[in-house]
Structure 1
Amino acid sequence: MGHGGNAIDELMTDHREVEEMFARIQAMTTGSQQLRDMVDEVTIELVRHSVAEEQYLYPAVREHIQGGDRLADKEIADHGRIEKILKQLEKTDTDTAQMGPLLQQLMDEVAAHVQDEENNLFPMLRQACTAQQLDDLGDKIRRAKSMAPTRPHPSAPSSPTASKLLAPGAGLVDRARDFVTGRGKS
């Protein structure tokens, strides 16, 4: 998290990190604390990434890409589905029969979302924005990720304005909970 560079490079690095986490998850056995820790870690990364995209990337898509409203709305809907799965995973014991299918559903949803962004959205954004605009957007995304919540909040508003107002507070509460419980420290 917080890799430097322009927005597209930043987000693509996040995508590769999540793919690596998924590979580690697939190699684990169900019912282990190690699996719970890894699910928590991937949840933290996906929530931070999604919040940053909703606050800054998708408004830039709306502003700079023709038909950007439709594209941004589709990506936000993807996030909503992913966040609901993350919330289910948060409540599911790693040794139950539901864990495997939920993890597979999450990996499938994230893979489709990543492929769509990298094959469609990012090339359009790269063409529509200057290098300086993408660098500035990268800085904003890194700041947003550092303040973002670490737990799924599927019922939270997804508008950029509401997210910018509410995410830092939710992020502070989530990080305090994580500190007390040790979540995300593996």
Structure 2
Amino acid sequence: MGHGGNVIQELTTDHREVEELFGRIEALPPGSKDRKNLADQATIELVRHSVAEESYLYPAVREHITGGDAMADKEIEDHAKAEQIMKDMEDLQADDARFDTLMTQLMSEIRSHIRDEEQNLFPKLETACPADALMHLGDQVRRAKKMAPTRPHPSAPDTPPANKLLAPAAGLVDRMRDALSGRGKES
């Protein structure tokens, strides 16, 4: 899918891409090695997406939406749950009995998070935030995703400024590890 546009368009495109990966995982038989490869790809996209949201989207939610602090805190809590599930899955192979259980939990958690953002947070932000600010946020999110980590780091900070300082370094290390291992590449 094409990326671009304002922050809501950018993040909605990410949501559709992750859902497409989930559908591909669900279509494969349990234990298939391809399930692990697709789960790794989904994890890469979800971690990059989460870091970008935590760095730019949620601060904008806090600034522009009445009650935004509580909304942002809930979304960050959702991210923490998903990130822990991804961390628990990281070293499992697709034929491990826990893999399918955790994958099902992750998909449920992410689908619920997506529904909440698209039905509640995004419409409120679109109403409260000027169009040029939404476009600028889209640019910031795209840049952040390019530098973001690709592996779950549940103990890393999830709010600015610490996350903005540490994410690029963790991202560099993760991308080097991915390149050496072939992680995230379809076989």
TM range (shorter): over 0.9
1:31 partnered with 2:54: no
- Provide the C-alpha distance between the structure 1 equivalents of 2:100 and 2:137, rounded to a whole number of angstroms: 36
TM-score, reference length from structure 2 = 0.97
1:93 partnered with 2:93: yes
Please, which runs of 5 or more residues in structure 1 have no aligned partner?
Answer: none
Please, which runs of 5 or more residues in structure 2 have no aligned partner?
Answer: none
CA RMSD of aligned residues (A): 1.1
Give the secondary structure class of the aligned counterpart of 2:150: coil
Where does structure 1 differ by over 6 angstroms across 4 or more consecutive aligned residues? none
- Provide the C-alpha distance between the structure 2 equivalents of 1:87 and 1:42, rounded to a whole number of angstroms: 13
Instruction: Tell me whether 1-10 or 88-97 shows the greater mean CA deviation.
Output: 1-10
TM-score, reference length from structure 1 = 0.97
The one-letter code sitting in structure 1 at the alignment partner of 2:124 is M
Q: Which residue is equivalent to 1:71?
A: 71
Q: Which residue is equivalent to 1:18?
A: 18
Q: Which residue is equivalent to 2:125?
A: 125
- Provide the C-alpha distance between the structure 2 equivalents of 1:40 and 1:103, rounded to a whole number of angstroms: 11
Q: Which residue is equivalent to 1:152?
A: 152
Deviations 1:13-54 (A, max 9, x none): 100110110000001123232111101100000000000000
CA contact under 8 A between 2:2 and 2:13: conserved in structure 1?
no
Q: Which residue is equivalent to 2:141?
A: 141
1:169 partnered with 2:144: no
- The sequence identity of aligned pairs, in percent, is 63
Give the secondary structure class of the aligned counterpart of 2:97: coil
- How many residue pairs get aligned? The number is 186
Deviations 1:101-160 (A, max 9, x none): 111100110011000000000000000011100000000000000000000000111112
The one-letter code sitting in structure 2 at the alignment partner of 1:65 is I
Give the secondary structure class of the aligned counterpart of 2:29: coil
Q: Which residue is equivalent to 1:112?
A: 112
Give the secondary structure class of the aligned counterpart of 1:160: coil
- Provide the C-alpha distance between the structure 2 equivalents of 1:96 and 1:69, rounded to a whole number of angstroms: 39
Give the secondary structure class of the aligned counterpart of 1:91: coil
